[in-house]
Amino acid sequence: MSVRFGDMLAPQSPQGDVPPDFLPDWEDDERMAFLFSAFKENREVNTTDWDGKMNFWVPLVISSCRKRGAVCVNLQDLNETFQRKGSVPLGLGTVVQHMTRCGKVQKESEFAANVDSGWLSWGVGLLLVRPLKWTLSTLLGNSRVPLEESFVVIELVKEKAVELMRVYRSSPVAERSLLSFQELRALSAHVCTDETTLCLALIQLQREKQVTVLLHEGEKIVKFSQSGQGRVSPISDMDVGIYQLQCSEKLLGDRVEALSHEAERCREDARKLLQEGKKSQAMRCLKGRKRMEKRAERLYAQLETVKGILDQIAHSQTDRLVMQAYQAGVAALRLSLKDVTVERAESLVDQIQELCDTQDEVNQTLAGAALESSAGGDTDELEEELKSLLEEPSPKRVSTLPQVPSWPLPMGRAPDVHDGSFLNSLPPVPTSSLGITDEDLNRELSRFTLGDTDMVQAYGPSGTRPAAAQ
Q: What is the pLDDT of residue 116?
A: 59
CA distances from 398 to 49, 91, 404, 427, 441 (A): 134, 140, 15, 18, 16
Range with lowest mean pLDDT among 230-234, 406-410, 459-463: 459-463
Q: What is the pLDDT of residue 160?
A: 93
Query: Which pLDDT band, with edges at 50, 70 and 90, does 406 fall under?
Result: low
Range with lowest mean pLDDT among 19-33, 40-54, 225-239: 19-33
Contact criterion met (CB below 8 Å) for 126 and 199: yes
Q: Long-range contacts of range 286-290, CB-CB < 8 Å, 24 or more positions apart?
A: 289/263
Query: Which pLDDT band, with edges at 50, 70 and 90, does 232 fall under?
Result: confident
Nearest residue to 39 via CA among 79, 98, 100: 98
- State pLDDT tens for residues 181-195: 888 889 988 888 888
Q: What is the pLDDT of residue 124?
A: 46
Given a cut of 90, whether residue 21 has pLDDT beyond it is: no
Q: What is the pLDDT of residue 361?
A: 87
Range with lowest mean pLDDT among 121-130, 291-300, 335-344: 121-130
Outline where DSSP puts E strands in 202-340: 211-216, 219-224
Mean pLDDT rounded to a whole number for the chain: 75
- State pLDDT tens for residues 49-70: 888 888 888 988 898 888 888 8
Given a cut of 60, whether residue 444 has pLDDT beyond it is: yes
Distance in Å from the first CA to the final CA of the chain: 143
**Which carries the bigger pLDDT value, residue 275 or residue 423?**
275
Q: What is the pLDDT of residue 443?
A: 75
Q: What is the pLDDT of residue 217?
A: 77
Distance (Å, whole) CA 236 – CA 151: 34
Q: Is 103 exposed, middle or buried (0-12, 13-18, 19+ CB in 10 A)?
A: exposed
* pTM of the complete model: 0.56
% residues pLDDT > 90 (the chain): 4
